[in-house]
């Protein structure tokens, strides 16, 4: 469907969960995948798996909340491949968060969530945009969350950070559009991955499924095709948009 053959694609938080699935999907489609994660062994394992399937990939240890780490990481990509075509801002803090009322969230935890989930998207987009502007082509795809549409309680810092990603995407779309760069957000629903979440019981999961127009669990593969499409020439006139992929839980 999508044409990403030989595109250089950087995916943050690609050592596990959604990011790992995206990395494999892009590799299967012929892209050169940069597997970025703060967990270097996890990133290297994904790269090994991709190469075992004859795909092309590189591991890139990077802390998205650290300006120097992001700048150095993207410089390394450009030095190795001469360009950067696609950035998927996927790195995020969520599964380790405990559900608690807004007035019980430690300020340090609030700041950490904002640093990774929002500032990280800003930093990666900022430094990735430079080589994209030089080539006159680029795709920035930011992973937000369908909880923004729901206003879900007990995760106010996470919801706020993901709402910020949507606003950031829309503003960047205006600024980068003249250079042939599109910026869009994808809003996943609650997705089943290998990452354990102690705060979600089986009963809560089933309740979420019952809210969907398509009443089944959501998988990373349900999102990978959407991300792949946004990275392709087929989506060249689509920018500043927020695509919700939650099985029809919300309609906005």
Dig out the tokens for 108 from the structure.
């340090």
Question: Considering its fold, how many domains does the chain have in total?
Answer: 1
Do the domain assignments include residue 188? yes
CA distances from 180 to 121, 133, 143, 221 (A): 19, 7, 20, 28
The answer, yes or no, to whether residue 199 has pLDDT greater than 80, is no
Rounded mean pLDDT, 221-235: 97
Rounded mean pLDDT, 96-107: 96
The answer, yes or no, to whether residue 1 has pLDDT greater than 50, is no
Dig out the tokens for 151 from the structure.
């206003």
Q: pTM score, two decimals?
A: 0.96
Rounded mean pLDDT, 208-213: 94
Rounded mean pLDDT, 104-133: 98
156-172 as b/e, with b when 16 or more CB fall inside 10 Å? Answer: bbbbbbbbbbbebbbeb
Residues 6+ apart with CB under 8 A from 168: 118, 121, 122, 125, 142
Rounded mean pLDDT, 60-82: 98
Q: Is 102 a catalytic residue?
A: no
Do the domain assignments include residue 44? yes
The answer, yes or no, to whether residue 100 has pLDDT greater than 70, is yes
The answer, yes or no, to whether residue 2 has pLDDT greater than 70, is no
pLDDT in tens, 37-69: 999 999 999 999 999 999 999 999 999 999 999
pLDDT of residue 252: 78
Do the domain assignments include residue 252? no
Which one of the listed residues 81, 122, 155, 158 is annotated catalytic? 158
Contact call for residues 8 and 241 (beta carbons, < 8 A): no
CA dist 204 and 245 (Å) reads 19
Residue with tokens 């206003």: 151
Dig out the tokens for 250 from the structure.
């919300």
Do the domain assignments include residue 19? yes
CATH number of the CATH domain containing 181: 3.40.50.720
Domain holding 221, by residue range, is 8-245
Dig out the tokens for 222 from the structure.
């349900």
SS3 (DSSP) at 105:
coil
Residue with tokens 């309740």: 207
Do the domain assignments include residue 1? no
- Quote the mean pLDDT of the chain: 96
Share of the chain above pLDDT 70, in %: 98
Residue 26 confidence class, pLDDT cut points 50, 70, 90: very high
Q: Which DSSP category does 14 fall into?
A: T
Terminal CA-CA length for the chain = 26
Residue 119 confidence class, pLDDT cut points 50, 70, 90: very high
Reduced to 3 DSSP states, what percent helix, strand and coil does the chain have, rounded to the nearest 5? 50, 15, 35
Rounded mean pLDDT, 186-206: 85
Do the domain assignments include residue 250? no
């Amino acid at each position: 469907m999508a044409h990403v053959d030989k595109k250089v694609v950087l995916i943050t938080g690609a050592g596990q969960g959604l990011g790992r699935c995206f990395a494999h999907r892009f590799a299967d489609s012929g892209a050169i995948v940069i597997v970025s994660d703060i967990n270097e062994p996890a990133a290297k394992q994904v790269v090994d798996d991709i190469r075992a399937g004859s795909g092309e990939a590189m591991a890139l240890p990077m802390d998205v909340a650290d300006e120097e780490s992001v700048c150095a990481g993207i410089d390394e990509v450009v030095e190795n491949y001469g360009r950067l075509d696609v950035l998927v801002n996927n790195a995020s803090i969520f599964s380790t968060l405990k559900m608690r009322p807004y007035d019980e969230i430690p300020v340090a935890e609030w700041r950490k969530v904002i640093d990774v989930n929002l500032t990280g998207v800003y930093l990666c987009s900022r430094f990735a945009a430079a080589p994209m502007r030089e080539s006159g082509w680029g795709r920035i795809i930011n992973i937000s969350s369908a909880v923004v549409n729901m206003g879900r309680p007990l995760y106010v810092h996470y919801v706020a950070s993901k709402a910020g990603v949507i606003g950031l995407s829309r503003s960047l779309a205006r600024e980068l559009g003249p250079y042939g760069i599109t910026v869009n957000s994808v809003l996943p629903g609650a997705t089943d991955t290998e990452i354990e979440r102690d705060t979600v019981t089986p009963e809560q999961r089933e309740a979420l499924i019952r809210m969907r127009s398509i009443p089944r669990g959501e998988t990373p593969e349900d999102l990978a095709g959407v991300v792949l499409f946004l990275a392709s020439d087929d989506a060249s006139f689509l920018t500043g948009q927020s695509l919700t992929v939650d099985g029809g839980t919300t309609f906005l």
